[in-house]
Amino acid sequence: MEHYLDGNKRLEIAKEIVRSACHNILKNLLHYKKQEKDVEDKIEEIKKLQERIETARNVPEVMGIEGNVRDVYYQSFNDFLRKGFEFEKRVKRPPDNMINCLISFGNSLAYTTTLTEIYRTQLNPTISYLHEPGERRFSLSLDISEIFKPIIVDRVIFNLINNRIIKPEHFLEELNFCYLNDDGRRIFLSEYDEKLKTTIMHKGLERNVSYQRLIRLDCYRLIKHLTGEKKYEGFRAWW
């Protein structure tokens, strides 16, 4: 709570969350750059926005930068997703097309997974540093999810679309909204659960760690920062 009430301490954590999220977003785009997809301009634009994090004077300014990064990132989707899943802009409530539907569904899963991992630590899920805390709002899961959505949710979505696992017939589309049908949800949940169980060799621990475990390890790093043991460094993908 002290780190939330102290503006400078809160800003320090908020900046690191967005730095880490930007790093993981760029990792995704660099992957497609290697596949000769036309994402170079978007990468450079995000890097310029990333530089502005250091001079941000308050949390709303940091959140504004994060929002701008996401906008540029989403604009790049048409450069590497297969035809038939075109994307114009992020629309949340309700999602208005197949991509927005997948993002919203995946993000909701990420928030739940992150909250589960927070509950396994000493952190209070209602005290957050990037997003504003609110009554009955587990806003810390929103904070930490920002770091992991690019490497879990987005990669699941890219795989589902580009490998033709999810198809237009898995959606329910009406005039102003688009949702996954029962089969679509089952497919997404299966791929998402498989991603969470997937392990990578952790450089620091020198052992295999699942994607889900990575979230809890990030919570532990935040705890060490709050207790003054070690400065917080959000998770940054290296693969």
Whether 40 is covered by a domain: the verdict is yes
Q: Residues 223, 229, 235, 239: what is their CA dihedral angle, to the nearest 10 degrees?
A: -140
pLDDT for 196: 97
Q: Give the residue ranges of DSSP H helices in the chain.
A: 2-5, 7-34, 40-51, 59-75, 98-119, 139-148, 155-162, 182-197, 211-226
* Residue at 205 is within a domain: yes
Range of the domain at 222: 2-226
Residue 82 lies in a domain: yes
Cα separation, 111 vs 98, in Å, equals 20
Residue 203 included in any domain: yes
CA pair distance 129, 106, nearest whole angstrom: 23
pLDDT at 105 over 90: yes
Residue 133 lies in a domain: yes
In this prediction, residue 158 has a pLDDT band, given cuts at 50, 70 and 90, of very high
Q: Which residue has the higher pLDDT, 174 or 215?
A: 215
Q: Which residue in 213, 184, 219 sits closest to 198, CA to CA?
A: 213
pLDDT at 39 over 80: yes
What CATH number is associated with residue 86?
1.20.120.920
Name the least confident of 17-31, 83-97, 172-186, 194-208: 83-97
Using the predicted structure, report yes or no on whether residue 135 has a pLDDT greater than 90.
Answer: no
Give domain status of residue 184, yes or no: yes
Q: Is residue 197 part of a domain?
A: yes
Q: What is the pTM of this model?
A: 0.94
- Kind and range of the H or E run holding 173: strand 171-173
pLDDT of 206 higher than 90? no
| The two three-digit tokens of residue 130, written as one number | 């990037």
Whether residue 235 lies inside any domain: the answer is no
Number of domains in the chain: 1
Phi/psi for 210 (5° steps) reads -75, 160
